């Protein structure tokens, strides 16, 4: 009988169906670890600026505006949740697009998402270093800043290479560091004695603009589907984590904005408004805690992406869409070693290049494209099975419509960058996607 190797943590190296000599990463992540991915994908830097912007735009209606935004976003989240019940391998939209529309669409969805994510990782790390520079001014220097970015990305890569359990543990710690100060701010609002005042409905033109802000606040939840191959029960935990976290984050956003209004609505529209409000209610230590929380929030957002995106590339290699080199799993750490290393090195190089920002502007637009592909895949697959669920179709229409509306607001430069990604992806597809998949798509 052939023996299956064990890593030092005692997890079995899973043999592949088509090639027993190869191994796949083990499934080690439970529900709560799975939930860290949509949670940190949504909560990045935005929540630390969103209260001031929303209150300045719609006044005391701002918390309810977040509730409206969460409800309007839910159909898209449900589309992802329903698709996630069908697949247990890593890849997310790659698998969804391929299953419904063929390999080329699946490849483009994965390639564009991956390429934009690498650039966004560099951009986010620059923002994190800028926050930390408020505490350590030396980080703002022309040499220190890009070096700090590279060091931060290298640290994410090193932890990620060591193992999924280590990555989830680090992500959990960073999540706690960013949520605890926000929780303290919410609690302090109960003792602020502020008057919420009357809730006044905003003008329709204002609502239309603010809907864009609320939609952006939930973008990022989908990263969880890209690493499904290393979750213990992906068909159960991924859908549950998506719905649970989108709902929970909606309530958290509402609570934070309520606290902002209760403590210091005068800070609306100001720079570092949330830190100012925390200083008003908790003193200088509260303001400092919010700055630290903002830094770790961006870092956790980047970390979650740094864990998920190499698994996306690994999933593409499993599907024969990329060279098998990206499919290599380290025999000791049982991680997709080459895919992680490639992601980290390229992200660091972008972080050292001053012109990378022009590519980062297409990040949201690329996500919207993958949202549309995923949503449309659901009725296509259901039609093949003989019945389209009416409520599913309603959510698909709503999700696609809202994604198209948001995409229509994108700048022309973002569309040009997206076009460049697609052209480059087409060339890469012709070159790379010639290999046989590791498993049939209906077994994904």
Half-sphere exposure of 21 (CA within 13 A, CB side): 0
At 203 the pLDDT is: 58
Residue 45, classified by CB atoms within 10 Å of its CB into exposed (0-12), middle (13-18) or buried (19+), is: middle
The tally of CA atoms less than 13 A away on the side-chain side of residue 72 is: 24
Residue 357 has pLDDT above 70, yes or no: no
**Mean pLDDT lowest for which of 35-39, 181-185, 365-369, 384-388?**
365-369
Rounded distance between C-alpha atoms, residue 273 and residue 277, angstroms: 6
Q: What is the pLDDT of residue 21?
A: 62
For the ranges 68-77, 79-88, 259-268, the lowest mean pLDDT is seen at 259-268
| Residue 325 token pair | 């080199």
Beta partners for 6?
12
261-275, 365-379, 428-442: range with lowest mean pLDDT: 261-275
Q: Using one digit for the tens of pLDDT, what is the confidence trace for 171-183?
A: 999 999 999 999 9
Q: Is the pLDDT reported for residue 9 higher than 70?
A: no
Least confident of 93-107, 133-147, 172-186, 227-241: 133-147
Interval 271-283: pLDDT, tens: 677 888 888 888 8
Mean pLDDT, residues 351-371 taken together: 76
Question: Contact, 270 vs 52, CB < 8 A?
Answer: yes
N-terminal to C-terminal alpha carbon distance within the chain: 27
pLDDT tens for each residue of 187-222: 998 887 655 555 555 555 556 667 777 888 899 999
Mean pLDDT score, 83-101: 95
Instruction: Please check the confidence at residue 3 and state whether its pLDDT lies above 50.
Output: no
Q: Please, which pLDDT band fits residue 19 given cuts at 50, 70 and 90?
A: low
Task: Answer whether 62's CB lies under 8 Å from 342's CB.
Answer: no
In this predicted structure, the answer to whether residue 10 has a pLDDT above a threshold of 60 is: no
pLDDT class of 15 with cuts at 50, 70, 90:
low
412-418: average pLDDT: 85
Q: pTM of the predicted model, to two decimals?
A: 0.89
For residue range 372-395, what is the model confidence (pLDDT) as tens digits?
Answer: 999 999 999 999 999 999 999 999
Summarised one tens digit per residue, pLDDT across range 54-63 is 888 888 888 9
What is the Cα 122 distance to its own chain's centre?
A: 14
More confident site: 2 or 443: 443
How many angstroms separate the most distant Cα atoms in the chain? 74
Mean pLDDT in residue range 144-166: 92
- 280 CB-near residues (< 8 Å, 6+ apart): 192, 263, 264, 267
% the chain with pLDDT above 90 = 51
């Amino acid at each position: 009988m052939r023996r299956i190797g064990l890593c030092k943590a005692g997890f079995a190296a899973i043999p592949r169906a088509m090639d027993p000599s190869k191994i796949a990463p083990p499934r080690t992540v439970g529900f709560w670890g799975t939930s860290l991915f949509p949670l940190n994908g949504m909560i990045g830097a935005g929540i630390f600026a969103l209260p001031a912007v929303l209150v300045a735009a719609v006044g005391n209606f701002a918390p309810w505006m977040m509730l409206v935004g969460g409800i309007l976003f839910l159909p898209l989240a449900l589309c992802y949740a329903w698709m996630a019940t069908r697949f247990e391998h890593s890849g997310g939209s790659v698998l969804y697009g391929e299953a419904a529309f063929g390999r080329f669409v699946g490849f483009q969805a994965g390639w564009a998402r991956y390429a934009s994510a690498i650039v966004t990782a560099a951009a986010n790390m620059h923002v994190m270093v800028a926050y930390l520079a408020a505490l350590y001014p030396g980080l703002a220097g022309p040499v220190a800043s890009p070096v700090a970015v590279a060091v931060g990305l290298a640290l994410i890569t090193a932890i990620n290479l060591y193992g999924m359990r280590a990555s989830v543990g680090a992500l959990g710690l960073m999540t706690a560091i960013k949520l605890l100060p926000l929780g303290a701010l919410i609690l302090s609002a109960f003792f602020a004695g502020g008057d919420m005042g009357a809730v006044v409905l905003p003008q329709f033109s204002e609502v239309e603009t603010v809907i864009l802000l609320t939609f952006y606040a939930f973008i990022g939840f989908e990263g969880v589907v890209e690493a499904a191959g290393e979750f213990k029960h992906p068909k159960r935990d991924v859908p549950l984590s998506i719905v649970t976290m989108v709902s929970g984050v909606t309530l958290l956003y509402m609570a934070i904005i309520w606290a902002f209004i209760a403590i210091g609505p005068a800070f609306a529209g100001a720079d570092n408004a949330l830190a100012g409000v925390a200083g008003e209610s908790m003193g200088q230590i509260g303001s400092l805690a919010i700055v630290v929380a903002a830094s770790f929030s961006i870092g956790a957002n980047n970390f979650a992406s740094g864990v998920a995106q190499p698994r996306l590339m690994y999933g593409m290699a499993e599907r024969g869409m990329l060279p098998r080199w990206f499919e290599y799993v380290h025999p000791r750490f049982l991680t997709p070693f080459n895919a992680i290393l490639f992601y980290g090195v390229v992200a660091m190089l972008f972080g050292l290049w001053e012109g990378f920002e022009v590519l980062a502007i297409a990040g949201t637009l690329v996500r919207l494209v993958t949202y549309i592909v995923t949503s449309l895949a659901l009725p296509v697959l259901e039609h093949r099975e003989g019945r389209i669920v009416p409520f599913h179709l309603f959510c698909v229409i709503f999700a696609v419509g809202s994604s198209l509306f948001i995409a229509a607001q994108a700048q022309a430069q973002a569309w040009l960058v997206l076009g460049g990604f697609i052209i480059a992806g087409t060339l890469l597809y012709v070159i790379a996607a010639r290999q046989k998949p590791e498993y049939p798509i209906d077994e994904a």
